[in-house]
Amino acid sequence: MAAIAISAAHPILVTRVNHKLSSPNSIDFTNRAFLPVSISLKPLRAVLSSSAVSTEELAAGTGNNSLTLRELCQGHVPEHVLRRMEETGYVLPTDIQREALPVLFSSRDCILHAQTGSGKTLTYLLLIFSLVNAQRSAVQAVIVVPTRELGMQVTKVARVLAAKPLDTDLEHKLCTVMALLDGGMLRRHKSWLKAEPPTIVVATMGSLCQLIEKHIFKLESVQVLVIDEVDFLFNSSKQVSSLKKLLASYSSCNNRQTVFASASIPQHRRFLHDCIQQKWTKSDVLHVHVNAIKPLPSCLHHRFVSDAPESGIIFVAEQSEKSKKAGNAPSSTLLVDFLSNSYKGSSDVLLLEEDMNFNSRAASLLEVRQGGGYLLVSTDIAARGIDLPETTHVYNFDLPRSAVDYLHRAGRTGRKPFSDEKCTVTSIITSEELFVLQRYENELKFKSEELTLQTQC
Ligand SMILES: Nc1ncnc2c1ncn2[C@@H]1O[C@H](COP(=O)(O)OP(=O)(O)OP(=O)(O)O)[C@@H](O)[C@H]1O
């Protein structure tokens, strides 16, 4: 039997999906074969307020397609945050914001599944600002991220939204945001947490669990728990057990709203089932999937060459333990040396990898963010979440290990939601690796163009 699902692209275009493929917990905002059917559009919020929600009810439509971000958030997010949002340049919603915000404002747990660079961070931050009360002296929202770098970036966006709008004399207290990240000064944070708890905490798993286990930090006042790059954290052997404890032992899903976000949720039906079974979320958790048939942004142009790169972010593989033991130099350093000596352009050549200390990592990112040209040689540490909107080129100097890793690396470019600038992802491969690239092409539904290099006479 066929059910009808909402199309994110047009308010009166509907999409036919196979009933077997959908579930009451999953809305797939995919632009498939459009049927020219006109339906009356009920507001999604009204539909969601009923206890039993079917795909067909959800399919009745959002009618949100022409709304601005302000209109979507009105009555939920405080006026001063809306003003900051607009001052920052966020006026129109991206697809995930348009589709997920009404669901989130209806208090439902949610899995935000949308392309890289599609604005998931602002989506969950707007939910947080709709719920927290700056007058209360308690941590009310926690955002868990996999790396220090992503944590710093999310903290910055949260602080921008929490700040006082221009030309206003706001009297009341504003939300405070604390970054509790690996490599930070935990001792100072401990006293701050006790003396004046921040409203929002952005944390890496290690630092957060350390404070929870020492009873310095409690989750009892937390109303929203966001896990960003959730598939990465569940896949990380170092972090998965802490994550499970955080979701099911340290606090109960009934006392909070839980939000998961990522551009890749492999086996999402299985994940949804586990969320309910393991009580990581409430049983009416919703999987909001935008652009399911196009996992990568359409502004990306994929190429592969067998020559050295020119600009952008150049991804290299992490050095293996075997190669370390053999005393070999990692390919990252070799590449940086090579580019520093041979590259004739004006861009700075920079390095970012796990083995660097936190200060050097911060210095590299700071330099990149200062603008001007850059060639950032990085391991997959920069592949998740890092937002460098000026990046126009991504190079896979070493092919990523999986299609999911390709998706996240590629997503470091094409990060200006309303721009039609063409960005490029170039994979440098040997002929033996062509079949791997073709596997990624099939899985992620893109096509790489082969570049033939001109040989000089
Ligand atoms: N409504 C909006 N209007 C304009 N720009 C936006 C809007 N929402 C987000 N952006 C911008 O889009 C870029 C990508 O957003 P964000 O970092 O949240 O992506 P993401 O979905 O988390 O990607 P990833 O999966 O790679 O982490 C950022 O530069 C952000 O400022």
**Given this model, what pLDDT does residue 300 score?**
80
Q: With 90 as the cut, is the pLDDT of residue 389 above it?
A: no
Q: Whose CA is nearest to atom 31 of ligand 1?
A: 119
**pLDDT tier at 453, thresholds 50, 70, 90:** low
pLDDT per position as a tens digit, 224-248 = 999 999 999 998 888 999 999 999 9
Q: Whose CA is nearest to atom 2 of ligand 1?
A: 90
Exposed, middle or buried by CB within 10 Å (0-12, 13-18, 19+), for 447? exposed
Spacing, Cα 121 to ligand 1 middle (Å): 6
Q: With 50 as the cut, is the pLDDT of residue 371 above it?
A: yes
Structure tokens at 334: 């070799």
* CA–centroid distance for 418 within its chain: 17
**Three-point CA angle 304, 308, 313, nearest 5°:** 75
**Given this model, what pLDDT does residue 30 score?**
52
CA–CA distance, 98 with 337 (Å, rounded to integer): 45
Q: Is 374 in the pocket of ligand 1 (CB under 6 A)?
A: no
Q: Is 116 in the pocket of ligand 1 (CB under 6 A)?
A: yes
206/16: higher pLDDT? 206
Per the prediction, the chain carries an average pLDDT of 81
Q: With 70 as the cut, is the pLDDT of residue 17 above it?
A: no
Q: Give mean pLDDT, residues 97-117.
A: 94
Q: With 50 as the cut, is the pLDDT of residue 411 above it?
A: yes
Q: With 60 as the cut, is the pLDDT of residue 14 above it?
A: no
**Given this model, what pLDDT does residue 58 score?**
41
Residue of 385, 435, 438 whose CA lies nearest to 412: 385
Q: How much is the ipTM here?
A: 0.98
Q: With 70 as the cut, is the pLDDT of residue 6 above it?
A: no
284/291: higher pLDDT? 284
Q: With 90 as the cut, is the pLDDT of residue 28 above it?
A: no
Ligand 1 pocket test, candidate residues 88, 97, 120, most atoms within 8 A of CB: 120
Q: Give mean pLDDT, residues 52-74.
A: 63
Q: With 50 as the cut, is the pLDDT of residue 60 above it?
A: no
Spacing, Cα 326 to ligand 1 middle (Å): 42
Spacing, Cα 231 to ligand 1 middle (Å): 19
**Given this model, what pLDDT does residue 4 score?**
26
Atom of ligand 1 nearest to the CA of 418: 4
Q: Give mean pLDDT, residues 84-113.
A: 95
87/328: higher pLDDT? 87
Q: Whose CA is nearest to atom 22 of ligand 1?
A: 120
**Given this model, what pLDDT does residue 345 score?**
67
Spacing, Cα 382 to ligand 1 middle (Å): 16
Q: Give mean pLDDT, residues 357-362.
A: 89
What residues does 209 pair with on adjacent strands?
A: none
Q: Whose CA is nearest to atom 14 of ligand 1?
A: 117
Ligand 1 pocket test, candidate residues 70, 96, 122, 369, most atoms within 8 A of CB: 122
**pLDDT tier at 153, thresholds 50, 70, 90:** very high
Atom of ligand 1 nearest to the CA of 97: 1
Single-letter amino acid code for the residue at 302: H
Q: Give mean pLDDT, residues 282-295.
A: 86
Structure tokens at 412: 């470091």
**Given this model, what pLDDT does residue 329 score?**
82
Q: Is 118 in the pocket of ligand 1 (CB under 6 A)?
A: yes
Ligand 1 pocket test, candidate residues 90, 161, 232, 260, most atoms within 8 A of CB: 90
**Given this model, what pLDDT does residue 8 score?**
32
**pLDDT tier at 57, thresholds 50, 70, 90:** very low
Structure tokens at 70: 């302000």
Q: With 80 as the cut, is the pLDDT of residue 435 above it?
A: yes
Minimum mean pLDDT range among 174-188, 279-293, 363-377, 443-457? 443-457
**Rounded-to-10 torsion of CA 62, 83, 80, 203:** 80
Q: Is 8 in the pocket of ligand 1 (CB under 6 A)?
A: no
Spacing, Cα 117 to ligand 1 middle (Å): 5
**Three-point CA angle 235, 182, 357, nearest 5°:** 105
**pLDDT tier at 192, thresholds 50, 70, 90:** confident
**Given this model, what pLDDT does residue 63 score?**
55
Q: Whose CA is nearest to atom 8 of ligand 1?
A: 119
Atom of ligand 1 nearest to the CA of 153: 17
**pLDDT tier at 59, thresholds 50, 70, 90:** very low
144/194: higher pLDDT? 144
Q: With 50 as the cut, is the pLDDT of residue 36 above it?
A: no
**Given this model, what pLDDT does residue 31 score?**
41
**Given this model, what pLDDT does residue 432 score?**
86
Minimum mean pLDDT range among 61-70, 74-83, 447-456? 447-456
What residues does 391 pair with on adjacent strands?
A: none
307/379: higher pLDDT? 379
Other C-beta atoms closer than 10 Å to the C-beta of 105 total 20
Spacing, Cα 408 to ligand 1 middle (Å): 14
Q: Is 415 in the pocket of ligand 1 (CB under 6 A)?
A: yes
Spacing, Cα 82 to ligand 1 middle (Å): 16
CA–CA distance, 174 with 237 (Å, rounded to integer): 38
Q: With 50 as the cut, is the pLDDT of residue 429 above it?
A: yes
Ligand 1 pocket test, candidate residues 71, 94, 412, most atoms within 8 A of CB: 94
Spacing, Cα 99 to ligand 1 middle (Å): 15
Spacing, Cα 114 to ligand 1 middle (Å): 11
Distance from the first to the final alpha carbon of the chain: 64
Q: Whose CA is nearest to atom 12 of ligand 1?
A: 119
Q: Give mean pLDDT, residues 179-205.
A: 86
User: For residues 159 and 82, is the Cβ–Cβ distance under 8 A?
Assistant: no
Q: Whose CA is nearest to atom 29 of ligand 1?
A: 389
Q: With 70 as the cut, is the pLDDT of residue 139 above it?
A: yes
Q: What is the DSSP letter of 317?
A: P
